[in-house]
Amino acid sequence: MTGLTLAEAAADSRRWRISVWTALGTAALDFVVRQTVDGGGWSTNAPLVAGLFAYWMVVNHLHDHPFAHLGPANLITVGRLAIVATIAGGLWQIPSDALTWTFVGLAGLGAALDGVDGALARRSGMASRFGARFDMETDALLILVLSALAWRLDKAGAWIILAGALRYLFVAAARVWPWLAADLPESWRRKFTCVVQIATLIAAIAPIVPLPWSAVIAGAGLVLLTWSFAVDVQGLARRRHV
């Protein structure tokens, strides 16, 4: 019983540490951007949102991380989550062109780091289901934030929010149809689609890309993402019948 209690205490300590690191990292990034660019009425809730998201992740999935330490790859994902939360802080106002360019740069950095954490996890021997899920959920949150920002900037209609909502609609559907919650095999098609979706949204929000081209670019990414989800649903349905 004592060993179980100690294990639970250690897991809870890691949860709080990850959440605090994420919140502090977001607050620091928030501060740097505020000092560099005029943020206007920028929301200060971003660090809290990032910390809560990180805590939700580790509460639900920390059992899939068999290592005593978080590891360098997950720390990079924490940094990416801080970037996403910082961009989300700009949703409460219409960002200036300078701030939008900052968000474009931050989103590009977050997308570039997405190609680093997985390779680093494998090289350090600390790859885990938790890390893969943390990475995927951070990608999903980035897509949601960027799609909402594209709508707020009038770079696309409200329909673009579907790009960010698809992941969460899929999870909600799995509560109704549990066969949708089955593990999916590794897929380069899925990874490629994620990269393209993020890239098209970054391009769409860039001040240099006007309507209607921003909507066309964003729409192309949404079509590709919808097709990828449809392929996965079809595959899961086929496996269910088998």
pLDDT in tens, 77-126: 888 888 888 888 777 777 788 889 999 999 999 999 887 877 777 787 77
Which tokens in the block code for residue 216? 């066309």
Residue 40 falls in which region: left (phi positive, over 0), alpha (psi -120 to 50) or beta: left
Question: Is the distance from CB of 99 to CB of 38 less than 8 angstroms?
Answer: yes
Q: For residues 62 and 169, which has the higher predicted lDDT (pLDDT)? A: 169
Return d(Cα 242, Cα 234) in angstroms, integer: 12
Which tokens in the block code for residue 4? 């179980």
Total count of domains within the chain: 1
Give the structural domain span for 186: 2-241
Count CA atoms closer than 13 A to 68's CA, side-chain side.
1
Which tokens in the block code for residue 28? 């620091």
Locate all alpha helices (DSSP H) within the chain, ordered by sequence: 2-36, 46-61, 72-88, 97-123, 129-152, 161-176, 188-205, 213-241
Q: For residues 70 and 3, which has the higher predicted lDDT (pLDDT)? A: 70
Band of residue 39 on the pLDDT scale cut at 50, 70, 90: low
Tell me, what CATH number does 206's domain have? 1.20.120
Q: Which residues contact 192 (CB under 8 A, 6 or more apart)?
A: none
Sign of torsion over alpha carbons 153, 159, 163, 166: positive
Look at the block and give the residue holding tokens 């609609």: 169
Return d(Cα 165, Cα 237) in angstroms, integer: 21
Task: Determine the 3-state secondary structure of 70 from DSSP.
Answer: coil
- pLDDT of residue 149 exceeding 60, the answer is yes
Band of residue 53 on the pLDDT scale cut at 50, 70, 90: low
pLDDT, average across residues 10-16: 64
pLDDT, average across residues 66-74: 71
pLDDT for residue 65: 59
CA distances from 223 to 45, 175, 203, 219 (A): 32, 25, 16, 6
Q: Is the pTM of this model over 0.75?
A: yes
